[in-house]
A and B are shown apart, each in its own frame.
Chain A
């Protein structure tokens, strides 16, 4: 769970500077929506092949994130300030209200900082190393407390250009997740009805 939030934070944090430093001011703001495709590879030791999944995501400031896995089967994960909900083939399998995720608020603070390119909030918990130029940049995050049991990864490496292109998440036991993003676009179009409905599923 916590890993997921960190991933989300990094996803948004990566966007911040990229957007802010791009040719035009593409900083994601209220009312704008970032849509894109993802390819997730989960490398587990003892598995011949990585677990691959792919799908689409929708990131809307003020609303939250829709993570829609389409292959190998349909899993929709929605996260908002109200909580988290997961559906598999149209059946809800998980629902956690924000009240049961007490640190959601805290993470939202961190996210909003990240969205405006404020890395300071992430730097409280991680050493942040940046390299490259505006067109091809890398950010490496390492937890400051190496043995914190609440920190289920060893390193997080993000590479990007206009947007985040790839995230590599390494776990202590050698497993790692690779997330690649493509076909990303920002639009000022309002949320579709389906998207708005998805965000509503996390509510009470």
Chain B
């Protein structure tokens, strides 16, 4: 025993040293909820595309700087941009909109102009109406908004290339270039857009802090000079930062209230400081060992796992309370004697609860693995501390107020002990059935991942304002086009674009960007050249030139000249920067993205992809919601599984006849908690399901404690269970106050479930343990 206690001390010291070292190094926390979700490898290409697009989207940042005065606003925007780009926190893509860009685009496309047609011109030629193209060009040459340039006309008399260029889809069409900066006017205000990619992980706290501080400092400095400067922000990094700050704030508040509540409770019941010290030792070793073990196992922790982890205090404290409450027992006895009376109960409880937590490892959610590991290791550590250290550190005697404290517990137990007619039982059962049935009728699941995260209100308002100002829709849906090579991918996109045209007109979506719009397939370019040659080079050309009075033309490029390729377009740096983001690498063949803006009817878009080989509509938020639904079912499966795993242990211990009395209280809690939640209109999410898994484990704890106790010690055990429930409510229940919807749902279900498990726990007191197998 002594050797084991010493060994445990060494282990705890090692854990403390490791945790201290990690804290010194600086802890890394992950903050995105999606990181908690499982990695499904069913479709590697879709997953890859999803990851690449999601990662690219999550790094995008838009900052708009606005003010009434153009020059002041420009100066402020330039200073803010410098504050972010000089420390390499962000790379601006709006930089590449310089005067060079148009020239580069021209250089890229010009040699291939005869294969590039705007949709309207192509349509006219396909319909055999080349005069329409001629007239369009003439009106542009003669009209007040003249585009005529002698050199251009000699090479492209129909102005085919300018028409192709002006019809290229341009994201953020409300903005225009003003002296090197992307700007727009709205009412009396002048706005500058700074858009780009952050250089770090938007979900890493350290980067969030560095980026956020640099921006805040720069804005504050500019505001000193111009008080009316407005700054709008849009980007995952801002939402993640706000969310992390909220979660960290909640963790410390909930943790503090939980610890304070537990401290006050222990002080009030024991009226001595030593039990408090012993409780804190048990909690402390649990938290310390589990935290350092999880950091060793996972490298980093998720903030949400930490939030759940903090609430473990409520469970870890149970074992020390079981032991400490024995001080009130009439038979008293030395510390080791008191431990002997409870050790089997707490060991059995630790084993069953650990089974409950470890079932979480069966769900492939990385975050849940962290929670399960935190819970199981923390509980085991607290158990070891109670078993090995507490009796040695304890010198307490039975306190004088012991009888009064026990009488409170006895009063609650007495309600159950009171003799009643069997109608009481039947009536109670009927009432419970009514509650359950009424609740389950109202029961409705909800898996929308967007409702699980709490998004900062002011940031949402800024996002709306930016979208309204720029015309960006911030959509996350896209088509994934998968093909053997780029050429076939481009041809597929051309077929897709034909189908999207009518949807655009109907308003099913606001816009889209496909690689094939920037670089038509070689087949399309060849067809365009043939069309131009057939329809425009004939007699019409002489007539067209005659109208213009132009007699000399530069010879057109050869018909068999090479076609423009995607590689060339991407390689021309600074010309079509965003084209690269539509082409994914790493797949087997070509993997292209068709980005969608302002999707109003996803079903219509899914229909557009039908029948086109290799085209799929990807909706990350929708996919995650589907996954949540799948895992909500899996959580219920885990619940059944963990009940099934516990049952043999309980039957082995209590026999067929009385084991149901032990399992009944937690089972009632698990069935009634979601029903009661549903009565109040709450929906059932995956997180409620996971809470029920824990309610089952904690509830089984209470049952076992009461089943293990003898008739004369029932009051002592009831007191310990009451205190355990109170501390659990203080920790888990407080999560109900969280503004993160997922945590709130988890907390509320825990609150109701633990309360029910506690209220029904005396049912287990009549279970008869079989003769103790060993001493």
Contact = CB atoms under 8 A, between A and B. Distances in A.
A100 B174 contact: yes
A99 B549 contact: no
B153 A44 contact: yes
Contacts of A45: 150
B185 A103 contact: yes
The residue among B143, B175, B179, B549 with the most chain A CB atoms within 10 A of its own CB is B143
Given A53-B142, A149-B99, A47 B183 contact: no
A75 B143 contact: yes
Contacts of B547: 72
Contacts, number: 95
Contacts of B471: 99
B9 interface: no
Given A69-B143, A84-B145, A105-B185, A47 B174 contact: no
A104 to B, nearest CB: 8
Interface stretch (A85-93, A131-139, A157-165): A85-93
Nearest to B142: A53
Contacts of A88: 135-136, 139
A101 B177 CA distance: 10
B89 to A, nearest CB: 28
A88 B550 CA distance: 22
Contacts of A100: 173-174, 176
Contact of B139 (A49, A86, A149): A86
Interface residues of B, number: 34
Nearest to B99: A149
Chain A contact residues (Cβ within 8 angstroms of B): what range? 35 or more
A177 B141 CA distance: 12
Nearest to A48: B549
Interface in B163-180: 173-179
B143 A77 contact: yes
B548 interface: yes
B206 interface: no
Contacts of B141: 42, 51
B142 A42 contact: yes
Nearest to A105: B185
Contacts of A46: 150-151, 153-154, 550, 552
Interface string A134-170: 0000000000000011100000000000000000000
Most buried by A among B175, B183, B550, B551: B550
A189 interface: no
Most chain-A Cβ atoms within 10 A of its Cβ — which of B138, B145, B173, B183? B145
Contacts of B550: 46-48
Nearest to A89: B135
Contacts of A77: 143-145
Most chain B CB inside 10 Å of its own CB: which residue of A46, A86, A89, A101 = A46
A44 B139 contact: no
Contacts of B185: 102-103, 105-106
Contacts of B549: 47-49, 51
B603 interface: no
B184 interface: yes
Interface string B466-494: 00000100000000000000000000000
Contact of B135 (A69, A73, A175): A73
A86 B139 CA distance: 9
Nearest to B552: A46
B148 interface: yes
A67 interface: yes
A197 interface: no
Contacts of A149: 99
The residue in A1, A7, A93 that gathers the most chain B C-beta atoms within 10 A of its C-beta is A93
Nearest to A1: B145
Interface in B128-160: 135-136, 138-139, 141-146, 148-151, 153-154
A42 B146 contact: yes
A72 B148 contact: no
A4 B142 contact: no
Contacts of A94: 145
A40 to B, nearest CB: 8
A72 B150 CA distance: 19
A7 B144 CA distance: 9
B551 A86 contact: no
Contacts of A48: 549-551
A113 to B, nearest CB: 16
A89 B139 CA distance: 10
A102 B139 contact: no
A67 B144 CA distance: 7
B437 to A, nearest CB: 56
B145 A175 contact: no
Most central of A7, A69, A75 by chain B CB within 10 Å: A75
The 5 closest A-B pairs by CB, nearest first: A44-B150, A149-B99, A102-B184, A88-B139, A46-B150
8 contacts: A7-B144, A44-B150, A44-B153, A47-B150, A51-B141, A94-B145, A106-B185, A177-B146
Given A67-B144, A93-B136, A173-B151, 15 more contacts: A3-B146, A40-B142, A46-B552, A47-B549, A47-B550, A48-B550, A48-B551, A51-B148, A75-B139, A77-B143, A84-B145, A102-B176, A102-B178, A148-B179, A150-B178
